[in-house]
């Protein structure tokens, strides 16, 4: 088998390779995409294992390796860097280091989503970004209304839009309003089929349907949670889900300085974290305990802190629903599950949340 350590960049990649049978070692710099395509296709009939640290702009590369049938491992970038404490870092050194980790079976490989998973993620990402663009346009229209003395509820509706359209504006104010309304209509037209596609995908996913029984969790949030969390069995405990999504506070506790907490780490998937925070607002209104905590944190700290705290609770509860195979009503009727044994989906795991 040939083992390749790859330091990937958008325009090129530096590789270090070792042929285990012959002991042949080499290093190359491959330009994208011509040199890289020719090199890896020349290895089509051989067993190859490739390791690369997690990065972006590599979709074409992952597709190529998948088509050739080579083993492709993605490593945790922070763990790879931590295992190489030397301050001098170059592309060649990084490629050699990745190769060394692969040969010594110390490469910190991370979970990779399937092709179908990534396809549906793109649907969610595209839909959510268009929705956020639409929200910014609505905010601009509301600002125009406020500037003309139109106050009151900012909840968007057909009546609200008609009031803004009837404002007596002239010149560039009127042109700006017309352009924003035109963009709003165009985005509505594009978002509608995306909403239908997300709903159809969620209805075909049993785990997403289970999560939709929770208040505040609709097709978008449930499908995003299932796709991004992936196999929930890779998380032994619920709090690891919160850590994975960056919903836990950063900590710098050492020596006499204990429990030095900071802002949430914001590590992990940005899209799912944002969706959980949005869903937390409605979820807390349906749960008395969560609602009390939300009000207390909003008054003592900040409403943003309160939303993130409830989002963390929501992420853990959704994990427990997947783990136990129970819907929202069953989870709430069961109450505290600490120390109780279950056999979720026949796995015989014990919850330790």
pLDDT of residue 264: 82
Higher-confidence residue: 261 or 171?
171
- Over residues 255-260, the mean pLDDT reads 66
pLDDT of residue 257: 64
Q: Is the pLDDT of residue 138 over 90?
A: yes
pLDDT of residue 351: 35
Q: What is the pLDDT of residues 25-66, one digit of tens each?
A: 999 999 998 999 999 999 988 999 999 999 888 999 999 999
Q: What is the pLDDT of residues 330-353, one digit of tens each?
A: 988 876 443 344 444 444 333 333
SS (H, E, C) the chain: CEEEEEEECCCEEEEEEEECCCCCEEEEEEECCHHHHHHHHCCCCCCEEEEEECCCCCHHHHHHHHHHCCEEEEECHHHHHHCCCCCCCCHHHHHHHHHHHHHCCCCCECCCCCHHHHHHHHHHHHHHHHHHHHHHHHHHHHHHHHHCCCCCCCCCCHHHHHHHHCCCCCHHHHHHHHHHHHHHHHHHHHHHHHHHHHHHHHHCCHHHHHHCCCCCCCHHHHHHHHHHHCCHHHCCCHHHHHHHCCCCEEECCECCECCCEEEECCCCCHHHHHHHHHHHHHHHHHCHHHHHHHHHHHHHCCHHHHHHHHHHHHHHHHHHHHHHCCCHHHHHHHCCCCCCCCCHHHCCCCCCC
pLDDT of residue 268: 85
Residue 291: CB atoms within 10 Å: 14
pLDDT of residue 260: 65
pLDDT of residue 345: 46
Q: How confident is the model at residue 87 (pLDDT cuts 50, 70, 90)?
A: confident
Comparing 53-57, 110-114, 127-131, 330-334, the range with the smallest average pLDDT is 330-334
Task: Please give the model's pTM, rounded to 2 decimal places.
Answer: 0.85
Comparing 65-79, 268-282, 338-352, the range with the smallest average pLDDT is 338-352
Comparing 20-24, 204-208, 249-253, 335-339, the range with the smallest average pLDDT is 335-339
pLDDT of residue 258: 65
Say what percent of the chain tops pLDDT 70. Answer: 92
Average pLDDT across the chain, whole number:
89
pLDDT of residue 179: 96
Higher-confidence residue: 303 or 225?
225
């Amino acid at each position: 088998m040939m083992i390749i350590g790859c330091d990937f960049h958008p325009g090129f990649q530096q590789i270090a390779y070792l042929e285990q049978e012959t002991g042949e070692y080499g290093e190359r710099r491959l330009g994208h995409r011509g040199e890289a395509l020719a090199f890896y296709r020349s290895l089509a009939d051989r067993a190859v294992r490739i390791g690369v640290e997690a990065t972006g702009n590599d979709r074409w590369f992952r597709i190529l390796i998948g088509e050739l049938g080579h083993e492709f491992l993605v490593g945790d970038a922070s763990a790879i860097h931590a295992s190489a404490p030397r301050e001098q870092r170059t592309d060649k050194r990084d490629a050699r280091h990745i190769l060394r980790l692969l040969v010594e079976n110390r490469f910190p490989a991370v979970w990779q989503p399937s092709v179908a998973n990534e396809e549906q993620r793109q649907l969610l990402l595209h839909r959510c970004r268009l929705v956020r663009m639409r929200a910014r346009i609505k905010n601009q229209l509301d600002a125009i209304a406020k500037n003309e003395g139109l106050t009151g509820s900012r909840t968007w509706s057909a009546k609200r839009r008609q009031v803004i359209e009837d404002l007596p504006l002239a010149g560039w104010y009127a042109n700006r309003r017309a352009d924003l309304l035109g963009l709003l209509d165009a985005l509505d037209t594009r978002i509608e089929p995306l909403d239908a596609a997300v709903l159809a995908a969620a209805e075909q996913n049993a785990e997403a349907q289970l999560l939709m029984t929770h208040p505040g969790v609709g097709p978008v949030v449930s499908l995003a949670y299932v796709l991004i969390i992936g196999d929930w069995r890779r998380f032994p405990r619920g709090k690891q889900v919160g850590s994975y999504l960056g919903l836990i506070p950063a900590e710098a506790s050492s020596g006499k300085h204990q429990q030095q907490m900071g802002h949430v780490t914001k590590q992990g998937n940005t899209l799912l974290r944002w969706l959980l925070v949005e869903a937390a607002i409605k979820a807390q209104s349906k749960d008395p305990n969560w609602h009390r905590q939300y009000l207390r944190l909003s008054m003592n700290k900040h409403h943003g802190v309160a939303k993130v705290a409830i989002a963390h609770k929501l992420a853990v509860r959704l994990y427990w629903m997947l783990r136990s195979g129970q819907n929202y009503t069953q989870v709430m009727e069961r109450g505290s599950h600490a120390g109780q044994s279950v056999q979720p989906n026949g796995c015989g795991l014990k919850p330790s949340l």
